Chain A
Amino acid sequence: MKVDATNLSYQVLNRCLRTLTEDCEVVGCLGQRFIGAGMRDRRLSIYGTPGNALGAYLNGAYLEVHGNAQDAVGDTMNAGTIVVHGSIGDTAGYAMRGGQIYVQGNAGYRAGVHMKAYQDRLPVLVVGGCAGSFLGEYQAGGLIIVLGLHANGKKIVSNFPCTGMHGGKLFLRSACTGIDFPPQVNAHPASGEDLAEIQDYLAEYCRLFGYQLPTVLDGPFTVVTPNSENPYRQMYVAN
């Protein structure tokens, strides 16, 4: 089913998408917010530039954007997959607690801010290009993977990565020289075991965007985890 979003308000477009029960191709998007919000077991192929909060509270649906996406993609998503054949704005995967986001290009500021894992749910955010400042801010769980493909000399991540991180894992395909991490995290070269953990996600990234897995795996990976030796326990009281 094809839905033409041209000149539709976000209310009308989303009402239409909710009424339909089959997979949809949404064309002519221009800034309509909340596309696919809360959606379960459906596929949406989106053309144009979807608005903020694409796939917020997503609950199982598969959203594929053929272009760039704006801010707050997958805000608080619970399950499902968002694929972006382009770059993505700020706060991608904000507080996501399940599901997967694959971004072919770059991410803006605060990607993966406050991601969390919950029981059997493990949110995964894969960014093919570079990430802005405050990557993984307050990360509490889940996996964030940044590949730095086509970095063209740009730093794989800008300032203040992992500020406030206290859970989960973050992988950067870089030796991370010259990148300062805060004292409450550990950054070390990824072991074979670490890489095995992300192998499936890297393979999926390659399948989606047409890369060769050996090429992506070729390069030093750094893994960042919270440092349990230096928790926040003395921040307010000594206990």
Chain B
Amino acid sequence: MKHLEGQIRIPSGCAISAVISKEGKRMTGEAIAQSMKPMHDRSNGLGGGFAAYGIYPDFKDEFAFHIFYDNHSCRAACEAYLKEKFELVWVEEIPTRKIPQITDEPLIWRYFAAPLRSVLRSMQLDEQEYVARAVMYLNTSIKGVHVFSCGKNMGVFKAVGFPEDVARFYRLEEYKAYSWTAHGRYPTNTPGWWGGAHPFGLLDRTVVHNGEISSYDANRRFIEMFGYQCTLQTDTEVITYIADYLLRRQGLTLSETASVIAAPFWSTIAKCPRQEQERLAYLRKMFPSLLVTGPFSIVLGFSGGLMALNDRLKLRSMVVAEKDDKVFIASEEAAIRMMEPDVEHIYAPAGGEPVIVRVKEGAFV
């Protein structure tokens, strides 16, 4: 019998990479896929994935659901639920390429959907909360259904396989995005399966992660009080929900969010200027259960930007570089040089120091 996440523990790194155009210029998925090649040995073929922003300009006002189905009967059940809640503007199978490196694929569909106004009004919810709840429901209540992407004008593409093969499988050279993130997986603790590959997304926020967080259960217990259900038993899922909770529901800024999840040591806070001390102490006291400990380097993707962050001890590597309008982030400098050999301003951000890159105002749809 095949084991899923949580049914087996495999004690065992990962690779992350990202590129963003500050001018909002759209790039195909070829470069980001190439960037994963020099880091091939950081993954073991049990998960690869990409998040792409700005890829669906024709449906930019609808939520784009990417869904894995185990079979057609759960697809029928899922679609019945979606039709009750949403107006489905466009429905199709996600085009893939049959390649020997990627096997055992589930049914992979996408839906461009608008929440039904009448239902939205009667539930007194904003549309983001409405979508988040629908996704939580589908992922926990209908067996065989896994919604792995649900933002506007963006999408996650992931599979079991090496990331460069996953890019070919999903024909990423046919998509154009102003921002790409990528992940190559070497699963720690749990086996690889399609839903467990990175990026993890909720609404337009996605996370790719290299590391293994030791605060997972403390973080999970806290975040589950707010309606998030951690069904995948993987640490990246909880980081995704923490980001959603702090940014969307608590309204924190990105740098405040970074100061919560990678909070400086009290001894470091004591050395900061007074105002900064107060800010950092306030955030640590308000959200002590959302401090994420253990090694991590993550890239958080969102509409119009990216944030890269390391754990406060910097137990995982991360390099940032620039060239013209582009900013590159990766686990290794070699990955960046694969995308842009003549890159400039290469540096490694300190642990807990967020690198926030935004596309200039109005340059993305």
A: residues with CB less than 8 A from B are 9-10, 29-33, 48-49, 51-52, 68, 70-71, 87, 89-90, 108-109, 132-134, 158-159, 180
Contact = CB atoms under 8 A, between A and B. Distances in A.
Interface string B324-365: 000000001111011000000010101100000000000000
Interface of B: 38-41, 268, 271, 313-314, 317, 319, 332-335, 337-338, 346, 348, 350-351
A49 B335 CA distance: 10
B350 A30 contact: no
Given A71-B317, A90-B317, A133-B314, A49 B333 contact: yes
A149 to B, nearest CB: 17
Contacts of B337: 30, 48-49
Contacts of B350: 132-133, 158
Contacts of A31: 38-39, 332, 334-335, 338
A142 B16 CA distance: 35
B314 A30 contact: no
B314 A132 contact: yes
A48 B41 CA distance: 19
Contacts, number: 56
A197 B332 CA distance: 36
**Nearest 10 A/B pairs, CB to CB:** A31-B334, A31-B38, A49-B334, A109-B314, A30-B334, A30-B38, A71-B317, A49-B333, A108-B348, A49-B337
Contacts of A133: 313-314, 350-351
Contacts of A52: 332
A51 B93 CA distance: 39
Contacts of B317: 70-71, 89-90, 108
B348 A51 contact: no
Given A89-B333, A90-B314, A108-B348, 6 more contacts: A31-B332, A51-B334, A70-B333, A71-B332, A132-B350, A134-B313
Contacts of B41: 10, 33
A31 B38 CA distance: 5
B44 to A, nearest CB: 15
Contact of A70 (B40, B334, B351): B334
27 contacts: A9-B40, A10-B41, A29-B334, A30-B38, A30-B338, A31-B38, A31-B39, A31-B334, A31-B338, A33-B41, A51-B334, A52-B332, A70-B317, A70-B332, A70-B333, A70-B334, A71-B317, A89-B333, A90-B314, A90-B348, A109-B314, A109-B348, A109-B351, A133-B313, A133-B314, A158-B350, A159-B268
Nearest to A11: B41
B346 A68 contact: yes
A46 B278 CA distance: 49
Contacts of B268: 159
A49 B332 CA distance: 10
A51 B314 contact: no
Nearest to A72: B317
Contacts of A32: 38
Contacts of A134: 313
B307 to A, nearest CB: 20
A185 to B, nearest CB: 16
A99 B337 CA distance: 30
A157 B153 CA distance: 43
A157 to B, nearest CB: 12
Contacts of B346: 68, 87
B352 to A, nearest CB: 10
B31 to A, nearest CB: 14
B304 to A, nearest CB: 30
A89 B334 contact: no
A30 B338 CA distance: 8
Nearest to A158: B350
Contacts of A9: 40
